[in-house]
Amino acid sequence: MARLSSFLGKLLPQLFRRPDTTVEPANLRDAPRLSQLHRAAFHRGWSTEEFEQILIERNAFAHRLRLGGSTIGFIISRTAADEAEILSVAVAQKHRGHGLSRDLLRTHLGHLAGHGLKTVFLEVEENNRPARALYERAGFRVVGRRDRYYKDAGGEQLNAVVMRRDLS
């Protein structure tokens, strides 16, 4: 019985561990993959050219989430003075629900704080429960609302909430 218990004690953590991922700065070469991820996650996906334009801005910060040699997610922000706005976050559909976006967000926020930014804002679709839960767990709070800010695939207008988190 002791052997079985020891065996299970070693095996179970390996079966239920999260995949080995890394979060690292994104660069211009990542634009096509980031665009692909964005188009898969959002009704109005950004083009490669739109990502290239953002990634060359001096006030933009982007991180990619890598699993092995593949980029499976990203987060991108734009800064002004001591504030940042998260423009977009996406994780490939088959990798959602494993806490990977939490690690991506935490690393990105740490990077922003390390650059002296004090406050971060974002907009999220009001009924996007998984995203709102992620942001709330990360310390974001609703500070406003934007009526009819998004459109879904069927053309229905959806409300957004504005969320804020202080980094200091």
Q: CA 86, 92, 98, 104: dihedral to nearest 10 degrees?
A: -30
Q: Give me the residue spans of the domains in the chain.
A: 18-166
Question: Could you give the CA distance from residue 118 to residue 136 in angstroms, rounded to a whole number?
Answer: 18
Q: Which fold would CATH assign to domain 18-166?
A: Aminopeptidase (3.40.630)
Specify the pTM. 0.83
Which residue bears the tokens 């930014």? 117
pLDDT of residue 14: 47
Length of the chain, in residues: 168
Q: What is the pLDDT along the chain (168 residues), one digit of tens a residue?
A: 556 455 545 554 444 545 688 999 999 999 999 999 999 988 788 999 999 999 999 999 999 999 988 999 999 999 999 999 999 999 998 888 888 899 999 999 999 999 999 999 999 888 888 899 999 999 999 999 887 766 666 777 778 899 999 997
Which residues does 150 contact at the CB level (< 8 Å), separation at least 6? 43, 125, 157, 158, 159, 160
Neighbour tally for 75: CB within 10 Å:
26
Q: What is the DSSP letter of 42?
A: S
